[in-house]
Amino acid sequence: MARDEFSAGVRLQLAQRVNHKCSNPDCRTATSGPKDNPEASINLGVAAHITAASPGGPRFNPSLEAQERTAITNGIWLCQNCAKLVDNDEARFPEKLLRDWKSATEAEALDQLGKSRPFPTPTAEGPAILRELQWESNPRFGFSFLFPAYWDREDPTNGDGNTYRHPRDSEIEVRAWGGYAVVSKDLFGWIQHTIEWLGCQGGFRLISDVPSGRHLVDFRETAHGVVEVRQQIEGRRIVYALETAGHELTAMQTFVQYGNIQVGILCRARAESYADYEDLFLRVSHSVRILRPNPTKSGESVSTLGERGGKNTHCSIEDISELGGIPLQGYAIHQALALNSFSNGTDGWILMLLDERLAGLAGGMHRDAYSPLRTMNVELDPSIWQVQQDDVKQALLLAVDEQCRILYSEQLGRESARLDRTYLYRDKRRPTFVVTRDYSIGAGSYNGPISYFLEVSAQGIRYVLPHGLMTSLKSAWAIVENNSPAEVIYKTCRPRPHKGGPPEADFEVVYELYRFENGHWAPESQREVGFWEYERSLDYGEFLSRFPHDQR
């Protein structure tokens, strides 16, 4: 059967609509240029069929008529190498993927139309950056990535990743972070949530949304345990424009998910210089690699969890047990957050130890997309139901120095718990740690995880609020981040005795606000008759009306 070929006009239009560049986002090579003959040019591009031109070809669609197979809608412009690649591996390059490539490349070409590309500064920085890339690992979420070695490092406040900024322009940066799939359970839901949130920011404009290529995974979980293998998973990459502080930025954000672990890479620069860093950003984006399935386990070192440039510390369960005289058999290091002498009065770690059979509380602190509130969202540990309750060890909170000597220890009274880090004060070098204990068993809608705020300083460890803050169906709390220092709000609903009256008189709603004043956290509260249940977000306006700013 004869092939349904494109006309010369369709081939020309396919090439011109992408500026004669290959539509593979991992390639983007130029496909047209001059020959030595000043009156001739060379073409390395191919007008490839998305669905095959004849039966038996890759992605053939028998429902199409001949004029549909030869239409521009069924074509994609590729270089010769990529055209051969997509036709030789139909399973890896399905129809939808090719259509995504096509639309993204056309969108990029449209965005660049009529814009001049600035000349790079005449230095060797461009290629030098690529030569100076180094690997960084995130032990907590088990991934690695490349970063520019000489850029300035400033880690995010929650300790879940790293930020690297250009030493001469802080708007040029690379961020990498890990987290649990709390906001969205799947990759595309996560991306959609991100785009919706970005859409609420000033000047947001989506430029492209394409696959980010294949990312390596170095292990596989089997019925016999974790085995070392090399497999690949598909990621996703978006490029978008955003306005901040009166100027436009262009950002490239990569999304990778394996199980319930999500890894993000965000690279951004000023719009006028983005093209100079695009190759670097692509290299960083492609480098994401999944190393292992779980956080640090018993006996493993927590040395790489420290701040870059700090002393190399090797603290294992065995080291801590031997030096501290505390029997820790059966425990695993679930989390380790770094301490430093400038902020905490000592160099070392604050550790969360759990029974080695437990996975711990997933989730953590999350910023609300539509308000200044940061809330605690955790997922309970299902593994706790798979062991004998009277045999499970209590969670243990430790502070250790660089030599793994125990400075502080506390049994938390519950089996499962987690650590988070936040910043409540004007001085962002002064962190506050949030210790969340699982009280969700046995009391219905009035019980759930309870979070306690503590600080580590040269004077020791102290809890800074008068009581813990619960998250349940009848209680919730949040940190208000647009105030300096921050404020903490807490809302609960509880039964109240009364004599007759409507059903809602059986309950009261309590509003509490904590603000930092004269060196300590001062509480204010109001009580009202009524009924309330928590539905994933607090209404900050309720607290503004009850605790006006002029009274605070």
Contact between residue 471 and residue 461 where contact means Cβ atoms under 8 Å apart: no
Give the position of tokens 């999944």: 290
Please give the full DSSP string across 268-308, using - where no structure is assigned.
Answer: EEETTTHHHHHHHHHHHHHT-EE--SSSPPTT---GGGS-T
Separation CA 172–CA 70 (nearest Å): 44
Residue 247, pLDDT score:
83
Query: Alpha-carbon Rg of the chain, whole angstroms?
Result: 28
Q: Is the backbone of residue 286 left (phi > 0), alpha (psi -120 to 50) or beta? A: alpha
The b-or-e profile of 72-89 (16+ CB within 10 A means b, else e) is: eebbbbbbeebbeebbee
Q: What does the block give as tokens for 5?
A: 């070929």
Residue 282, CA distances (Å) to 140, 146, 192, 216, 403 in order: 24, 11, 21, 16, 40
Question: Starting at the edge strand that comes first in sequence, how are the strands of the sheet with 373-379 ordered?
Answer: 362-367, 373-379, 475-480, 487-495, 507-517, 520-529
Separation CA 384–CA 344 (nearest Å): 33
Q: What does the block give as tokens for 544?
A: 């503004």
All residues at 6 or more sequence positions from 242 whose CB lies less than 8 Å from its CB, including other chains: 198, 201, 202, 203, 204, 205, 248, 249, 250, 251, 268
Give me the residues of the chain with pLDDT under 50, please.
117-125, 224, 226-228, 294-314, 443
Contact between residue 440 and residue 474 where contact means Cβ atoms under 8 Å apart: no
Please give the full DSSP string across 13-29, using - where no structure is assigned.
Answer: HHHHTTTTB-S-TTT--
C-alpha angle 44-47-53 in degrees, rounded to nearest 5: 135
Contact between residue 178 and residue 262 where contact means Cβ atoms under 8 Å apart: yes
Residue 249, pLDDT score:
92
Q: What does the block give as tokens for 415?
A: 């089996």
* Strand-pair partners of 479: 374, 488
* Strand-pair partners of 29: none
Residue 160, pLDDT score:
64
Residue 145, pLDDT score:
86
In terms of residues, how long is the chain?
552
Residue 317, CA distances (Å) to 159, 322, 404 in order: 22, 9, 10
Separation CA 186–CA 167 (nearest Å): 36
Instruction: Give the domains, in start order, of the chain with CATH numbers.
Output: 8-112 (no CATH), 125-290 (3.40.1000.10), 303-551 (no CATH)
What residue type is assigned to position 358 of the chain? L
Helix %, strand %, coil % for the chain, to 5? 20, 40, 40
Q: What does the block give as tokens for 84?
A: 């051969």
3-state secondary structure of 108: helix
Residue 320, CA distances (Å) to 351, 396, 420, 531 in order: 11, 12, 21, 48
Residue 219, pLDDT score:
52
Give the position of tokens 């639309």: 103
Please give the full DSSP string across 164-208, using - where no structure is assigned.
Answer: EEETTEEEEEEEEEEEES-S-SSHHHHHHHHHHHHHTSTT-EEEE
pLDDT tens-digit series, residues 87-126 = 888 888 889 889 988 988 888 888 777 655 443 343 334 5
Q: Burial of 399 by CB count in 10 Å (0-12 exposed, 13-18 middle, 19+ buried)?
A: buried
Look at residues 264, 267, 263 and name the one whose alpha carbon lies nearest to residue 279: 267
Number of neighbours of residue 141 by Cβ within 10 angstroms: 22
- Give the largest CA-CA distance in the chain: 100
Separation CA 143–CA 137 (nearest Å): 6
3-state secondary structure of 250: strand
Separation CA 176–CA 284 (nearest Å): 10
What residue type is assigned to position 461 of the chain? I
